[in-house]
Amino acid sequence: MTPNRPRVLVVEDDAPLAHLYCTALALRGVGAVRAADGVSALRSIEQQRPDLIVLDLMLPAINGWTVLRELGANPLTQDIPIVVVTGVDPPPPLPDAVAVLSKPCDPDHVAKIVTDHLPGRLH
């Protein structure tokens, strides 16, 4: 990833869907890495803080609600913008998320919402 390129962590257990999100983000100039579950997501965030997180709620090991709670409780991560993309219907109110999108969701739409909420927005 280039040094000035924004970094987004895509936390999604569906590998093909995560790949689509990452590809759509790359086409908008955003670097994206994937975590397949909540444990991997928290580990990745600890190793390298992302500029934004795309988070599914229904994850193996540690679910998205727990990830949200842990990030919000940590002063080092509580200000990372989070876009939730969920199959939970209807989507729950999540005040810690900058956006909540319902699956199925077009990857290009996800990428647009992400770039709209990145610190120092891309255009």
Do the domain assignments include residue 38? yes
**pLDDT score recorded for residue 1:** 47
Compute the average pLDDT of residues 45-55. 96
Residue 1 lies in a domain: no
Mean pLDDT of the 64-83 span:
95
What residue type is assigned to position 30 of the chain?
A: V
Residue 52 lies in a domain: yes
| Domain-located, residue 122 | no
Q: How far apart are CA 62 and CA 75, in angstroms?
A: 20
Q: Give the pLDDT confidence score for residue 81 in this predicted structure.
A: 97
- pLDDT at residue 15 tops 70: yes
> Does 81 map to a domain?
yes
Q: Is residue 106 part of a domain?
A: yes
Question: Total domain count for the chain?
Answer: 1
Domain hosting residue 34, numbered range: 7-117
Mean pLDDT of 88-105: 89
The answer to whether the CB of 42 falls within 8 A of the CB of 36 is no
Give domain status of residue 102, yes or no. yes
pLDDT digits 0-9 by tens, 75-96: 999 999 999 999 988 888 888 8
Q: Residue 88: give its domain's CATH number.
A: 3.40.50.2300
Is the model's pTM score more than 0.75?
yes
